[in-house]
Structure formats: structure tokens, C-alpha cells
Structure 1
């Protein structure tokens, strides 16, 4: 009888140990899968206050500054994103052409890296229609007092 209790106890410990190991492997695999999938949003003010590491991929949002779009070779171009308080120069280095609704004075979100005082955008998100602006950009502009409701 004593050997049977010891065997049950040992088996229970083995099952719990195996479950803990499986859980640790699952958490590690999920973390590995999300390593590039989590893109933090930042405003120009947040980037100026605490510059991210050069290898950190994130989203930068705000308004495209009037008169700041400069075309380069191919689909590449430069522009400035502002939240009304801080301006960040952006170089679009992606492969896709500029979105049709990407214009000066409109809200946009650029995805890429901040290196050497300039944001290198690999992807751009522009508004869907004349009244749309990404929620994050609206919140940023409201925080700096620049936002004007298009319906007013």
C-alpha cells in the first residue's frame, strides 16, 4: 500500500511538472510570434521627449505639415509629421506608391524606425475619406490643442 501512494504522488508531480513545462513553452512561442507584431503608437512630442532605439519598429502619427512633401526618385518622398507642438522629418522608403488620399494638412500614421533624428517610414496609412482621421491622431492633436472638428 505504501508503494502505491508513493507512485500516485510521483505521477501527480510528473503531470504537474509536464503541464508547467508545456505552459512555459507556449508562453515563449507566443512571445516569439509577437516580437514584431506589437507596434506602439507615438506622437511627435513623445518621440522628441524620449527617442526610441534605432531598431524599434513603431507607429508615428500626426498631421502632414503644409508644404513639406518633397518627391525623390521612384516612389520615395520626404515630408514632416507634426502634432502642432513638435515636427518630425519623415523619409518614406517603402515600396508602394503614395496613397491617393495622402495630402498635406491631413492625418496620417507612418510605420517604421526613428534613426539619426529622422523617421524612416516603410508603410503609410492615410485617411479613408475627407472626414476620416485615425483616432490616435485625433487624441494627439486634442492633447496639443491643435485639433479642429471638421463638422464644426
Structure 2
């Protein structure tokens, strides 16, 4: 991507590190604040502590194509037209709620960076095959012996 912020995070002093290699420039984040719901009396009615973070996933740098694909899949319902949103109103302070939103974003990016292991099919051992066949034969004999034996 050829944007003004597409350099290394080391060269950008304000870069927010999201994972091992992933980072985002603060200008790519859109914050909005509102009053938090729930109890709290005057404090909750006067202060805008609920934080809402919107980030365009195209401006998260340092992800390889597979990690970007996993990130889009993990965002799922959070993402509409490439913009992910996170909100928090758990804390009484705006700063703590901002940090919690960033933590949610970091957790999803870190999960996207982890490459899932390829599952290898396991093969049943010879002894387990023999046990299964012996069991089938025993059950078959048992059921065969239940039938009418011919009388007297």
C-alpha cells in the first residue's frame, strides 16, 4: 500500500503496535465517545466515558496475506466494508475504555497472526483394527445364537 503511513513502525514514532509485526498509525483510528449506560448517578450522565473505536483493516500494516485473510474472517460481524468497530464502557474513565478497545483489537490481530496447524490424518493401528474386527465377530455370533435353535 502506498500511503503516507506505510513505513516501518520504528520510523513512525506514534505507531501503535498490535502484534508481532502488525501495527497501525494513530491517524488511521477513529475514536468517538458517548455517555455510558447503566448506574452511576450524576457522573455517568455528565461524562462521555464510553469509547467506540473504528479502524479500517486495510491500514493495519505488517500482516502477510494469509494473516490478513484470517483477520477479515475473525472480524466477521464486527467489520462492515473493511471497517472494524470496538466499543467499551466497562470502566469509569475514558482512558481505560480506550485502552480496552485497543486491547480487543490487539487480541484479534494476534490471533490472526497465529498460523493454524495443518491437521494430519491419523491411521488406526493394526491392533486396534484387530480388536474392532474381533468385537464385530463376537457381537455377530451372539446375535446369531439368539435365533430359533430348532426344537426337540
Query: Smaller-chain TM-score range?
Result: under 0.3
- TM-score, length-scaled by structure 2: 0.19
Higher share in strand? 1
Higher share in helix? 2
